[in-house]
Amino acid sequence: MDIKAVETAYARWAPVYDKTFGAITEVGRRRTVGYVNAHAPADVLELGVGTGLALRYYSKTLRVTGIDYSTDMLRKAKKRVAEDGLSHIHALMRMDARALSFEDASFDFVVSMHVLSVVPEPERVMAEIARVLRPGGRAVIAVHFKRDSGALAVLERAFAPLADLIGWHSDFDRSAVLAEPALTLVEEAQLPPMGMMTFMVLERRADRAVG
Ligand SMILES: C[S@@+](CC[C@H](N)C(=O)[O-])C[C@H]1O[C@@H](n2cnc3c(N)ncnc32)[C@H](O)[C@@H]1O
């Protein structure tokens, strides 16, 4: 899926997202934001903020910046922040996660929920995450990975050619998330329903350059 396909797919998703895909992925959002809240105060970047479903869950002592490429999804997030008076949301900006405009070492946490299996060039996004994290900072991730066997694996393979249409890669491989040498996996758990989502925490190594 290229970036144009992302924009087209999420223009279609935006009006219905919160009550469909957004509703069934709520567990990942709660777990991910809960982890960050336990480390507040901190500077947080949320990549692929979408319609902003997670924004209300962040502790008010965090300083949260959100980015997304889809203007339609972002418009909904901005409306949510205004209507709900979410004053700890510092900024919401249109940006490509592959080329962030932030300085190196700007954030304590980079959060990404249900995004890495959507973005074009996920390895490049992982490198950008490492670049903008402070040494010891953490990437906190919820993501769907493909399975190697079973009925769900068959379904994932069947849907893989439809990525442009459905808006994500159903056959996303974990190697893309683990490839960045400046990030080390420190925590991993399977999330319900049926372990469909994976929760991961990766730490920015101080002793390795971004790769
Ligand atoms: C499945 S939605 C997840 C939204 C939100 N994180 C959530 O949990 O509800 C994926 C989001 O990633 C965004 N996205 C995909 N590729 C992107 C890129 N290269 N840069 C920024 N955002 C991107 C899409 O526009 C979409 O809003």
CATH number, domain with residue 66:
3.40.50.150
For ligand 1, atom 10, the nearest C-alpha belongs to 115
Select from 82, 112, 83, 78 the least CA-distant residue to 98: 112
Phi/psi at 89 (nearest 5 deg)? -85, 105
Distance of CA 138 to the CA centre of its chain: 13
* 87 within some domain: yes
Please write the tens of the pLDDT for every residue from 105-118.
999 999 999 999 99
Distance of CA 128 to the CA centre of its chain: 13
Q: Is the dihedral of CA 49, 51, 55, 57 positive or negative?
A: negative
Mean pLDDT of 146-172: 85
Ligand 1 close to Cβ of residue 1 (< 6 A): no
The CA 207 to ligand 1 mean position distance, Å, reads 30
* Per-residue confidence (pLDDT) for residue 124, from 0 to 100: 98
Residue 148 maps to a domain: yes
**Residue 51 within a domain:** yes
Domain for residue 210, yes or no? no
Ligand 1 centroid from CA 134, angstroms = 23
What pLDDT does 170 receive? 87
Q: What is the distance in A from the centroid of ligand 1 to the CA of 87?
A: 22
Q: In this predicted structure, what is the pLDDT of residue 206? A: 95
pLDDT-based confidence at residue 185 (cuts at 50, 70, 90): very high
Q: Is residue 159 part of a domain?
A: yes
Q: For position 2, what pLDDT does the model report? A: 94
- Ligand 1 pocket test target in 45, 118, 168 with most atoms within 8 Å of CB: 118
Question: Which residue segment(s) compose the domain that 174 sits in?
Answer: 3-204
Q: Is 128 in the pocket of ligand 1 (CB under 6 A)?
A: no
Residue 209 lies in a domain: no
Q: State how far the Cα of 23 lies from the Cα of 191, in Å rounded to an integer.
A: 14
User: Does the CB atom of residue 55 touch ligand 1 within 6 A?
Assistant: no
Inside any domain, residue 211:
no
Mutate to test the pocket of ligand 1, among 70, 111, 126, 129 (most ligand atoms within 8 A of CB): 70
pTM of the model: 0.96
Task: Tell me the H-state helices in 38-84.
Answer: 71-84
Structurally, how many domains does the chain consist of?
1
> Within a domain: residue 93?
yes
